[in-house]
Structure 1
Amino acid sequence: MQDILSKSDIKLMVDTFYDKVKVDDLLGPIFHQVIGNNWEPHLLKMYTFWESLLFHNPVYNGTPYPKHADLPIKTLHFERWLLLFNANLDSLFEGPIANDAKKKGDNIAQVFMAKMFTPNSHLPIV
C-alpha cells in the first residue's frame, strides 16, 4: 500500500469513506436527513477540505463547525465516524500522510465534541 500522495488519492479516500457512511445504520440517516441524494456538493467540499489539511494547499474555504452544531448527534456518532474513517484509511493507505489524516480526523472529532457538549467552548477547529 502507498501513502496519500495526490488529489486522486484524496478523492478515493473521501468517496470510499462516504460510501460506507451512506449505508451505516447510525450515521447514514443523519447524513441523508441533511444531504438527501445531493451528495456532489458535499463531496466536492470534502475533497478541498482534506486537500487543504493534508497537502497544506489552501483550496478549502469554509468553516466546518457551524454546519454541524445543531445536528442531532452525540458522542457515539463521533466514535462511529472515527471508526469508519480510520478503518477506511487503513484499508487504502499507509504512511505518514495517512497517519496525519487519522490524527486530524481525531482532532476534528475532539474539537467538535468539546464545542457541542461543553458550554462556552471557544476551541479553534483543527
Structure 2
Amino acid sequence: MQDIRNIDDIKQMVNSFYAKVRQDDFIGPIFNEQIQDRWEVHLEKMYGFWQTVLLDVRAYSGSPFPPHARLPIQKEHFDRWMTIFTQNIDEQFAGPIADEAKWRAEKMAEMFNYKIEYFRNANQKPLS
C-alpha cells in the first residue's frame, strides 16, 4: 500500500469515505439531510480542505466549524465518523501522511465535539 501523495489520492480518500458515510445507518441520515443535493460542492470543498491539511497546498480557505455548529450530533456521532474515517484510510493507504490524516481527523472530531457541547451547555449561539 502506498501513502497519500497527491490530489488524486485525496479525491480517492474523500470519495470513498463519503460513500461509506452516506450509506451508514447512524450518521448517513444526518449528512444526507444537511447536504441534500449539494454533494458535489461538499466533496470539492473536502478535496481542498484535505489537500491543504495534508499536502501543504493552499486549496482551502474558510472556517470548517460553523457549518457543523447546529447539527444534531453528539460524541457518538463523532466516534462513528472517526471509525469510518480510520477504516477507510487503513483500507487504502499506509505511511506518514495517512497517519497524519487520521491524527488530524481525530483532533478535529474532538475539537468540534467540545465546541458544540460548549455552546449547547452555555446556551449560546455558535459563531456563524
CA-to-partner distance for each residue in 1:27-63, whole Å, 9 max, x for gaps?
1100111111331000000000000000111210111
1:123 corresponds to:
none
Match of 2:39 in 1: 39
- Post-superposition Cα deviations, 1:2-23, rounded to whole Å, max 9, x if no partner, equal 0000100000000000000000
AA in 2 matched with 1:96? P
Q: CA RMSD in A?
A: 1.0
State yes or no: 1:69 paired with 2:37: no
Q: Which amino acid aligns with 1:105?
A: A
What amino acid is aligned across from residue 27 of structure 2 in structure 1?
L
TM-score by structure 2 length? 0.91
Cα distance in 1 between the residues matched to 2:70 and 2:23: 22
Residues 83-102 of structure 1: matches in 2 within 5 Å?
83-102=83-102
**2:126 — aligned with what?**
none
Alpha-carbon distance between aligned partners in 1 of 2:84 and 2:24, rounded to the nearest angstrom: 9
Structure 1: state its 5+ residue gaps.
121-126
Of residues 57-66 and 15-24 in structure 1, the stretch that sits farther from structure 2 once superposed is: 57-66
SS where residue 118 of structure 1 aligns? helix
Task: Provide the rounded CA distance (Å) in 1 between the counterparts of 2:72 and 2:118.
Answer: 16
Aligned to 2:118: 118
| Distance in 2 (alpha carbons) for counterparts of 1:112 and 1:31 | 15
Normalised by the size of structure 1, how large is the TM-score? 0.92
